């Protein structure tokens, strides 16, 4: 196509490349937010990585207004709601009578939400002083948590040896970001002011200053979906009283990557699909049909190892938190049906 912006490599597949015409680029290239974030910074990751699926990041809350002409079509395409998706929130418990998540196929259940503190630049732009403020305010709030949410904070720069290994093995650790995050500016000053708060029972964690200021995580190995959702809801109610998060009436919680807007929620399972290599096409078709995302065993853009696949809701804006869980549940049921043995009963379907 001739009307594609020449800034992007020819083989780039990102949504930003698809929507950023030369005319739009010229219209937006001179604009900047009050924090001096530019379009060129926003699209760096998409320019440097032809395999980016989105390719544009926000440097602050204002980016979504200043560059709305490019963010809006990307947001509509990603979240699958033409005509501007609107944020809706519902943290009531989903009603899942026949949870398959306790089946042997599901090895663990994880829900995370992304949040950023209002009036501070987001990770692609934040400077060291503001990054320190994020860490300090968040840790102060988390240290007030009691009961099953109470725990300890580990600054990443000091996290070494056995504890680091243990957290990595339990999927609670985050490492320096990949080339997509590197190009977006998220890895600057690594590992300063980054850290992980983990509850004593290791079912609740908060990642500080990763891709967003906060990634709030609830996990469970037994597939206890309700318990995992309740724990996350309680943590959110608590944190909302102590921190003010960046949010917008239309776009919901504001995040570095537009794929996380709205609820900021990715609810997923690690599922064991022993025949993954042969069932890849079938899995992709089912995932597409049920609006799910497939990731590797160690997260986004990683390989599937030993048949452990990460399956989660794809849409996060224009859908409530409750619906994120229901979407996942419906999809996982379908995947179990289409890929063979039901491990709850041990029978072939």
Dihedral angle over CA of 199, 205, 210, 213, nearest 10: -90
Residue 104 vs 299, nearer CB to ligand ADP = 299
**Nearest residue (beta carbon) to ligand ADP:** 299
Unique residue bearing structure tokens 């989105």: 54
Dmax over CA atoms of the chain, in Å, equals 62
- Where does this chain bind ligand ADP (CB under 6 A)? 108-110, 112, 171, 215, 219, 266, 268-270, 295, 298-300, 310
Residue 218 vs 279, nearer CB to ligand ADP = 218
Distance of CA 246 to the CA centre of its chain: 16
Residue 163 vs 298, nearer CB to ligand ADP = 298
Whether residue 247 contacts residue 119, with contact meaning beta carbons closer than 8 Å, is answered with: no
Peptide bond into 315 cis (omega under 30): no
Residue 112 vs 213, nearer CB to ligand ADP = 112
In the bound complex, what is the minimum distance in angstroms from residue 261's beta carbon to ligand ADP? 14
In the bound complex, what is the minimum distance in angstroms from residue 216's beta carbon to ligand ADP? 10
Whether residue 118 contacts residue 214, with contact meaning beta carbons closer than 8 Å, is answered with: no
In the bound complex, what is the minimum distance in angstroms from residue 10's beta carbon to ligand ADP? 28
In the bound complex, what is the minimum distance in angstroms from residue 215's beta carbon to ligand ADP? 6
Residue 151 vs 264, nearer CB to ligand ADP = 264
In the bound complex, what is the minimum distance in angstroms from residue 38's beta carbon to ligand ADP? 25
Q: In what order do the strands lie in the sheet with 308-313?
A: 151-155, 195-199, 204-208, 214-220, 106-115, 265-272, 308-313, 292-295
């Amino acid at each position: 196509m001739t009307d594609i912006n020449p800034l992007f490599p020819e083989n780039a597949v990102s949504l930003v490349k698809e929507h950023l015409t030369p005319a739009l680029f010229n219209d937006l290239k001179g604009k900047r937010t009050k924090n001096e974030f530019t379009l060129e910074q926003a699209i760096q990751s998409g320019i440097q990585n032809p395999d980016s699926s989105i390719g544009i990041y926000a440097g602050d809350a204002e980016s979504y207004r200043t560059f709305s002409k490019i963010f809006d079509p990307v947001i509509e395409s990603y979240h699958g709601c033409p005509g501007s998706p609107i944020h809706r929130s519902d943290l009531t418990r989903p009603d899942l009578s026949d949870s398959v998540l306790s089946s042997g196929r599901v090895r663990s259940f994880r829900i995370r939400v992304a949040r950023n503190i209002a009036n501070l630049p987001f990770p692609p732009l934040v400077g060291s002083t503001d990054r320190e403020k994020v860490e300090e305010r968040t840790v102060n709030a988390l240290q007030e948590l009691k009961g099953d949410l109470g725990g300890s904070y580990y600054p990443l720069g000091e996290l070494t040896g056995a504890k680091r290994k243990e957290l990595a093995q339990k999927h609670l650790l985050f490492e320096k970001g990949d080339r997509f995050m590197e190009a977006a500016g998220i890895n600057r000053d690594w590992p300063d002011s980054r850290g992980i708060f983990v509850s004593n029972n290791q079912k609740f964690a908060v990642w500080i200053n990763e891709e967003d200021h906060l990634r709030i995580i609830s996990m469970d190995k037994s597939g206890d979906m309700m318990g995992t959702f309740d724990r996350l809801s309680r943590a959110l109610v608590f944190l909302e009283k102590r921190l003010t998060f960046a949010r917008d009436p239309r776009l919901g919680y504001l995040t570095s990557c537009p794929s996380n807007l709205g609820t900021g929620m990715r609810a997923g399972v690690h599922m064991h699909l022993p025949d993954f290599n042969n069932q890849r096409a079938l899995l992709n078709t089912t995932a597409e049909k049920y609006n799910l995302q497939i990731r590797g065993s160690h997260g986004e853009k990683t390989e599937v190892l030993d048949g452990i696949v990460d399956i989660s809701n794809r849409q996060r804006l224009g859908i409530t938190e409750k619906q994120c869980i229901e979407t996942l549940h419906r999809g996982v049921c379908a995947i179990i049906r289409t890929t063979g043995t039901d491990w709850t009963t041990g029978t072939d379907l």
